[in-house]
Amino acid sequence: MTEVGVRGRPDGPGPGSGRVVVLGATGFVGRHVGAALEAAGYEILAVARRPLKTPASWRFRPMDLAHGAPEALTRLIGTERPVAIVNAAGEVWSPDAEGMRRNNELLVDRLLAALAASGARPRLIQLGSVHEYAPQPHGVWLTESSPEEPVSDYGRTKLMGSRAVLRAVRAGDADAVVLRLSNVIGAGTPRASLLGQVAAQLLAGGGDGAPAQVRVSPLRSSRDFVDALDVSRAVVAALRAPDASGRVLNIASGTSQHVRDMVDLLLAISGRRATLVERGTPELRPGADNGWTGVDVSAARAVLGWEPRRTPRDMVEDLWRAAARQE
């Protein structure tokens, strides 16, 4: 397995070449995407607000994309002339509706304006979310033609960003692909997520040899969990696929896993003694009013030649190993 920031064998036929700007490169998904692109032969220019640790082989440019002067991004694109830009920036699960609008919607508007002003035409890969769709009944799979009726501020702001990108493609102002991701899991999974919270509680332990008390909201739903490494391979494929421009493609595992099974798997993999305590009512998150989510990935197979490879055990093992290293 290629770890974040470590060179590995390029994915797909032929090495890549050229510079790729990764916006939000120090975030969970951004780090994985940068690693996969570098492994595929691309030079990485990482852009983020804070200079968190990045591989020594990456160039880093600090930039506040939402609040900084928009001319800075225009100059960066015009000077660097990247072959691609990956927008992995944004805000997730935030109670701040205005912050999500600023970071998921207005940031994309700034990016598109900077692209137009720079005169460059890199392939733009916009990382969206399956929460841009309307929740579907049990057994009804999300496809790219599912209704776009998000039920949360997160889904609505991500949808506005995706629609802005697609309008730019239709107007001939951009070469871009929108990848709508399901629930991404892997090394570095944020603590704000359910499995991230469980891992943190396991590591905190119970003290004096007592089992750790792992407290969660009722585990009643099923979700499509996709491995961060599979997502990263999809980004590489989207950069290379000539017929992907203007498309929306779902990137997911293509299976629906019960959330309890994922938590039980993490408990087993950790090897820690623990007591699982379900309390309160289910925590409301984007799409949480729907107890089941399954995502169809046949379009990504057809357009990108991509398919998910990794199992729930793979992604949970990666999550736990990375969390335990930071203990």
More confident residue, 255 or 16: 255
Concerning whether 133 is annotated as a catalytic residue, the answer is no
Q: Is the pTM of this model over 0.85?
A: yes
In the prediction, which pLDDT does 125 show?
Answer: 98
Interval 123-142: pLDDT, tens: 999 999 999 999 999 999 99
Interval 147-188: pLDDT, tens: 999 999 999 999 999 999 999 999 999 999 999 999 999 999
The one catalytic residue among 42, 133, 154, 320: 154
pLDDT surpassing 80 at residue 23? yes
Interval 200-239: pLDDT, tens: 999 998 667 789 999 999 999 999 999 999 999 999 999 9
In the sheet where 84-87 sits, what is the strand order?
59-62, 43-48, 19-23, 84-87, 123-129, 175-181, 248-251
Q: What is the dihedral of CA 65, 68, 69, 75, to 10 degrees?
A: -50
The neighbour count for residue 255, using CB atoms within 10 Å, is 17
The CATH H-level superfamily of 19-185+225-254+294-309 is NAD(P)-binding Rossmann-like Domain (3.40.50.720)
The confidence band for 279, taking pLDDT boundaries of 50, 70 and 90, is: confident
* 183 in Cβ contact with 226 (< 8 Å): yes
Interval 227-237: pLDDT, tens: 999 999 999 99
In the prediction, which pLDDT does 94 show?
Answer: 75
| Domain spans, the chain | 19-185+225-254+294-309
Q: Rounded CA gap, 212 and 203, in Å?
A: 8
